[in-house]
Amino acid sequence: MITMQTADPHSAPVLEVQGLRTEFLMGRRWNAAVQDLSMTIHRNETVAVVGESGSGKSVTALSVMGLLPAQGARIAAGRILFEGQDLARLPEPQMARIRGQRMAMIFQEPMTSLNPTMTVGEQIGESLVIHHGASMQEARRQALRLLERVRIPAAARRVDEFPHQFSGGMRQRAMIAMALACRPQLLIADEPTTALDVTIQAQILQLIKELQQEEGMGVLFITHDMGVVAEIADRALVMRHGHIVEDGRCTDIFARPRHPYTRTLLSAVPQLGAMGDSSQPMPFPDLDEDGRERPAPPVASRLPDQGAPLLQVRGLTTRFDIRGGFLRRVQGRVHAVEDVSFDLRAGETLALVGESGCGKSTTGRSVLRLLEPVAGEVVFDGRKLSDLSKAELKTGRRQMQMIFQDPFASLDPRQRVGDAIAEPLQVHRLVSRADLPGRVAALLGRVGLDPGMAERYPHEFSGGQRQRICIARALAMEPKLIVADESVSALDVSIKAQIVNLMLELQAGLGLSYLFISHDMAVVERISHRVAVMYLGEIVEIGPRARIFGNPQHPYTRKLLSAVLLPDPSRRRMRRTLSNDEIPSPIRPADHIPARRSYREAGEDHWVMQDA
């Protein structure tokens, strides 16, 4: 049992930042990324710096750690006091002795922070060898102890494995073990849970809090997620354009936000359970920069109950062969999608939810035949896709479009966005060359962008604007079905709300059907009519959204919902019990025959997989 400790505001702070100003050289001018920032962190205290991309929160963390680029960046003013020393004035050799020993940092993406050529144990032990002069044998023993401490199963075996052999959640645990190796007084966590599934996110936050209580560390937590702030922070600093616009206790900021930007951030946070028994999607409140609410976009009216579904999927199965040996024979298979069936009606949104590796993205790609399934049947608008020739499938795909998770990766960086939107129209010869500029302008206007932006390149847009461009490109074909694969997962909270509202508005105006793939249960509750929960390639529960969220029947559905963070500090659940188990591997022997599954009806149109 861990004894809960609280920060002592009368003790000397672990970190005190006074009037920090950090600048970057742009051309011949120095531009401020952080301006006049001041804060203090005490032992056992967690201070969250929250803001959207470009607000200056990560630059603040890099300034404190002394990790700004050697060229083109500088601390122009202010002091960073740590254990009586001004870190802003320390030469690099002295800073290197503090960094990793007395203060440590966890980065957002562990795969890019870990060395792929070294074992996890070697990387954890490296700081002990450098800072404490430990032998290689002692460093390995300590690395094993740390892996056990951060709750990694079978740590004795995994200490000698490489980063690529760990899952995302396990890699982040290894990064935490590395940061704690020298028992630092200050831990800086820069978006450590942003790329993780909801259950893994909850595990990592609980782990950080427990380790903080054991070590008495001060924690500086960088995030854009107000749910994370409510769950872990004692105090919060809201940043915008390099300035602190609000600073206070978490309970006060969430209950009585003073600054309009703070109110805008909080209004954009999806709150699980806010939909009640409503059967229809609901747009997010839309606040302007002054905190005033704009009119909500329209949503589709009640769905018709008559007529055949637009999309029918029956027994869809997709597997990937694993080959090995001298003759490259099949030694096993990844059972990515296994006997999946569902219907999707015109104007309806069906959400596929689950953790990474559950098969939801593979399902979406298999439906569009971007991946060839090994079994099953997909019928779209009365036509069986498996019977179509390549030419017929190319024509049929005009009615089925896809929006991907990373808009920057799905746009050609050397192609103007107007040309990217026009390209499918030219390939399918749907619009004459003379009419093309007008059609592109109309599509940009439809997604809320200025038609004059057609001449710009993707790097000149924000993440939310790039996703709007991808939506415009998908709409160019006038589709009936859009598969949205984690289309808002990488966006800031307010931008995410804007894109969800845009999708609802387009659905109301154009009668679109969405297959919405996501691991964000709170967003799914807002946008979907029906929900299918996937686990290890199979649908374990499917039904109307209100029933899935209001009366979940399958244990895995309940696990997903219980892990969702609530943006309310008064309902903080840090002492809850969370399983550290990972999703089992979907790899099976080559001769494996899956068990036949059966489902029971838990209510009207609500089906739950029965135990095998």
Q: Work out the angle at residue 584's Cα, subtended by the Cα atoms of residues 609 and 212, and round it to the nearest 5 degrees.
A: 115
Q: What is the pLDDT of residue 462?
A: 77
* Listed range (70-84, 238-252, 267-281, 485-499) with the worst mean pLDDT: 267-281
pLDDT tier at 1, thresholds 50, 70, 90: very low
**d(Cα 444, Cα 468) in Å, to the nearest integer?**
8
Q: What is the pLDDT of residue 296?
A: 62
Q: What is the pLDDT of residue 306?
A: 59
289 contacts 263 by C-beta, under 8 angstroms:
no
Q: Give residues with Cβ within 8 angstroms of 444, minimum separation 6.
A: 418, 421, 450, 451, 453, 454, 469, 472
Q: What is the pLDDT of residue 98?
A: 92
Task: Report the share of the chain in percent with pLDDT over 70.
Answer: 93
Q: What is the pLDDT of residue 248?
A: 95
For 193-248, how does the pLDDT look when each residue is reduced to its tens digit (9 = 90+)? 876 778 878 888 888 888 898 889 999 999 988 888 998 999 999 999 999 999 99
Mean pLDDT of 270-281: 77
463 contacts 492 by C-beta, under 8 angstroms:
yes
Higher per-residue pLDDT: 271 or 383: 383
Residue 196 half-sphere exposure toward CB, CA atoms < 13 A: 30
- The three-state secondary structure class of 185 is coil
CB atoms within 10 A of CB 250: 24
Give me the chain's average pLDDT, please: 88
pLDDT at 573 over 70: no
Higher per-residue pLDDT: 153 or 473: 473
pLDDT at 19 over 60: yes
pLDDT at 374 over 90: yes
Q: What is the pLDDT of residue 141?
A: 94
Residue 352 half-sphere exposure toward CB, CA atoms < 13 A: 32
Q: What is the pLDDT of residue 165?
A: 85
Largest CA distance in the chain: 75
Q: What is the pLDDT of residue 575?
A: 45
Q: Which two tokens stand for residue 548?
A: 């899935």
Q: What is the pLDDT of residue 27?
A: 86
Mean pLDDT of 581-593: 81
**d(Cα 264, Cα 260) in Å, to the nearest integer?**
6
599-603 and 606-609 as β-strands: parallel, antiparallel, unpaired?
antiparallel
Q: What is the pLDDT of residue 562?
A: 86
Token pair 């399958």 in the structure block, residue: 554
Distances (CA, A) of 381 to 346, 351, 388, 403: 9, 19, 13, 20
What does the domain layout of the chain look like in residue ranges?
15-267, 311-565+581-609
pLDDT at 493 over 90: no
The CATH code belonging to domain 15-267 is 3.40.50.300
pLDDT at 574 over 60: no
Strands (E), 425-537: 481-485, 513-518, 530-535
Q: What is the pLDDT of residue 195?
A: 66
For 94-137, how does the pLDDT look when each residue is reduced to its tens digit (9 = 90+)? 998 899 889 999 987 777 889 999 999 999 999 899 998 999 99
Q: What is the pLDDT of residue 3?
A: 43
Mean pLDDT of 407-423: 92
Mean pLDDT of 170-196: 87
pLDDT at 267 over 90: no
Token pair 């002795």 in the structure block, residue: 97
pLDDT tier at 395, thresholds 50, 70, 90: confident
242 contacts 33 by C-beta, under 8 angstroms:
yes
Same fold, 15-267 and 311-565+581-609: yes
Mean pLDDT of 50-64: 90
pLDDT at 4 over 60: no
Q: What is the pLDDT of residue 152?
A: 84
For 306-363, how does the pLDDT look when each residue is reduced to its tens digit (9 = 90+)? 578 999 999 999 999 989 888 889 999 999 999 999 999 999 999 999 987 788 999 9
13 contacts 40 by C-beta, under 8 angstroms:
yes
CATH topology assigned to domain 311-565+581-609:
Rossmann fold (3.40.50)
Nearest to 343 by CA among 375, 303, 394, 379: 379
pLDDT at 464 over 90: no
Backbone angles phi, psi at 584, to 5 degrees: -60, 160
Q: What is the pLDDT of residue 406?
A: 79
Q: What is the pLDDT of residue 180?
A: 87
pLDDT at 38 over 80: yes
Nearest to 499 by CA among 365, 403, 608: 403
Q: What is the pLDDT of residue 605?
A: 92
For 135-161, how does the pLDDT look when each residue is reduced to its tens digit (9 = 90+)? 999 999 999 999 988 878 788 888 999
Q: What is the pLDDT of residue 426?
A: 92
